[in-house]
Amino acid sequence: MNDILQTPIEYLKGVGPSRGEMLRKELNIHRYGDLLTLFPNRYIDRTRYYKINELQAGNTEVQIVGKIIHFKTIEQSKGRGRLVATFVDETGEMELVWFQGQKWIRESLKLNTPYVAFGKVTSFSGQFNMAHPELELLEEHKQSLRSAMQPVYPSTEKLTQKGISNRTINKMMQQLFVETQARFTESLPPNLMEELKLIPKNAALFNIHFPKSQELLSKAQFRLKFEELFFIQLQLITKNLIRKHKIKGHPFEKVGKHFNTFYQHHLPFELTNAQKRVIKEIRNDLGSNAQMNRLLQGDVGSGKTIVALLCMLMALDNGFQSCLMAPTEILATQHFNGLSELAKDLNINIKLLTGSTKTSERKIIHEALEKGELHILIGTHALLEDKVQFHNLGLAIIDEQHRFGVEQRSKLWKKNDIPPHVLVMTATPIPRTLAMSMYGDLDISVIDELPPGRKPIQTVHRYDSNRLKVWKFLKDEIAKGRQIYIVYPLINESEKMDYKDLMDGYESISRDFPLPQYSVSIVHGQMKPAEKDEEMRRFAAGKTNIMVATTVIEVGVNVPNASVMVIESAERFGLSQLHQLRGRVGRGAEQSYCILMTGHKLSNDSKIRLETMCKTNDGFEIAEVDLKLRGPGDIMGTQQSGVLNLQIADLVRDRDILQLARHEAIKLLKKDPSMALPEHQTLRMIFMEMSKKKNIWNYIS
């Protein structure tokens, strides 16, 4: 471990207190080690020097060797002016221009002395000029550590204003390597380095900041990306192994009467092979002595609810209670209705607990729960209240878990002396790379096929100018007895944005689909829960033909007769949201449709999203495209993405390195679970430090 890397950043020569404060605030650089892991965003090739007569105006940076022969200040209105220097070489002349810091620049520059000017060239009135160039005396330029590939570091506007330019950070980095003598503790075991042909730590850090060639830069990047992902995987896999060894679960030893009766006599349809596989995986977990922590991924409509019920019946057969927690009342109520219907012939006690449950009813639920008379409790956050005490909770199922924080989930654990088995369900397909990183400590099951008889939803993109044809199509579908969703992105018109506004849409739809022939419902987030439920009930009962709504219907509403989903201003929605909304239809045996309505002005990303939706119904394919467009942070939501504060690796571009890192971490932990072998001592030390803190790079360096 390099103790010098713990030195506060202001002690680095050339930094000092005020720059140190700026680096802390703007780039979160507190110590030498933080600066060392400020990795460049990109590199500029500085192997070539241009002559002035070779210049072309463009967007690339160039460097030129020449001399300043003359200065002039050009005054402009309101005291603003610019400093212009005439810069010459043997082939011609050009201008260097500064709009800020003119006095200081004028005093610091020498006339008729060789400089290297570096920056972007533009052409104005036939004359080439370079605004705010980086200037370095030719003599110093030759002696500096600077490499042919020049790093460009992350920066902010405030840093630039305070004179901490890319060149300044580069100089700080050079000083850091001088003071540390570029000696950094090797963090990976020798046999792993040899097997993967990784370059040593010192060489990797030197070549990431001062690459001698493209080849060495690539090797440095690979080594550092692998290392970052390897340590994250070590943490996740160890966490999983420790949990399985330490946290004992209730072994569900038998599959008994409830499960078998339901499976043999009351299954409403034949299970898919994927459902059977997943139930087997869960059954193995529940039968072991370890506590289950499993993520169940299944696309919209893939049949996760029936898997959840079968798991709850296993709990019941072993004398345990279960609970299912959903993020919204609508979804909790729907789970309650669905499960009650499925289990109606089984003589089991299922209850619903939400914010709307009456006090008198709550009392009955609390008492039955504590006595063990209540077998399955379904609800919202209300399940987490201290008053909710189970007799013996054996299985906790959490739906759409990314909507719950870690603390909320851990409250469920504490509802029993021995933590219940946990099954986390999500209809948001998570790309494999993200699942390996965000949920690497969970075991993952995937339902990757739809129940038989389901027809794929046909998705089309239509412009607003085709609206009359779309409306005709809707009337034809209603004439066949089908129902329609029309979803808007906003409730009321926002002044800044021209989103289609729900109230506006509702009025015009009511005009185009008039009573008594048609009946239109409306649902949005600002309605009272009771009003919302009433509108939903009317639609589900077939009393209204069209449901005009915001995205409150995104999760879990199940109306098999609804066969068309129209999404207004579809370009305003993210891919996973579009996919979730589309999943509200296609639940019956009829052919279903999703119509994406947009204006003509579309960004490139919007076009990719719409094309992806029209091309595929596969949630995992959609999630991969979404990950490429948005990055991991946005997909997982802030609660989750903080886990992955990656410094150099990228989950989209480096998925192969991630898979390799996971494979190697598993292999190492199988051979040496506690990292006790002599060759793993450094690894163990870094790992122990990392486990206490978040930012792994402070320790890896």
The mean-pLDDT minimum among 8-17, 318-327, 571-580 falls in 571-580
Structure tokens, 622: 């959609």
Residue 637 has pLDDT above 80, yes or no: no
What whole-number distance in Å separates Cα of residue 302 and Cα of residue 276?
12
What integer pLDDT is reported at residue 498 of this predicted model?
A: 45
pLDDT band, very low/low/confident/very high, at 632 (cuts 50, 70, 90): low
What whole-number distance in Å separates Cα of residue 502 and Cα of residue 187?
57
Most confident of the following: 285-299, 362-376, 607-621: 362-376
Nearest Cα to Cα of residue 422 among 436, 403, 438, 443: 443
What integer pLDDT is reported at residue 497 of this predicted model?
A: 47
What integer pLDDT is reported at residue 59 of this predicted model?
A: 64
Nearest Cα to Cα of residue 518 among 509, 527, 508: 509
Residue 634 has pLDDT above 80, yes or no: no
Structure tokens, 516: 């008594």
pLDDT average, residue stretch 311-337: 91
DSSP for 585-615 reads S--SSS--EEEEEE-S---HHHHHHHHHHHH
Average pLDDT over all residues of the chain: 86
What integer pLDDT is reported at residue 145 of this predicted model?
A: 60
What integer pLDDT is reported at residue 635 of this predicted model?
A: 47
pLDDT band, very low/low/confident/very high, at 1 (cuts 50, 70, 90): very low
Between 412 and 354, where is the model more confident? 354
pLDDT average, residue stretch 480-493: 83
Most confident of the following: 70-74, 101-105, 161-165, 562-566: 562-566
Structure tokens, 59: 């967007």
pLDDT average, residue stretch 241-260: 84
Residue 556 has pLDDT above 60, yes or no: no
What integer pLDDT is reported at residue 590 of this predicted model?
A: 83
The mean-pLDDT minimum among 19-28, 376-385, 582-591 falls in 582-591
Residue 114 has pLDDT above 70, yes or no: yes
Cβ neighbours for 537, distance < 8 A, ≥ 6 positions apart:
none
Structure tokens, 7: 């030195």
Between 526 and 139, where is the model more confident? 139
Look at the pTM and tell me if it is higher than 0.75: no
Residue 89 has pLDDT above 90, yes or no: yes
Residue 608 has pLDDT above 90, yes or no: yes
Within 10 A of 295 (CB to CB), how many other CB atoms are there?
A: 21
Nearest Cα to Cα of residue 96 among 67, 52, 131, 122: 131
Beta bridge partners of residue 344, listed in sequence order: none
pLDDT average, residue stretch 200-204: 95
pLDDT in tens, 453-477: 778 899 999 999 999 999 999 999 9
Opening angle at CA 104, ends 100 and 106, nearest 5? 90
Nearest Cα to Cα of residue 438 among 633, 212, 200: 633
pLDDT average, residue stretch 258-269: 91
Nearest Cα to Cα of residue 422 among 405, 406, 404, 409: 409
What integer pLDDT is reported at residue 478 of this predicted model?
A: 95
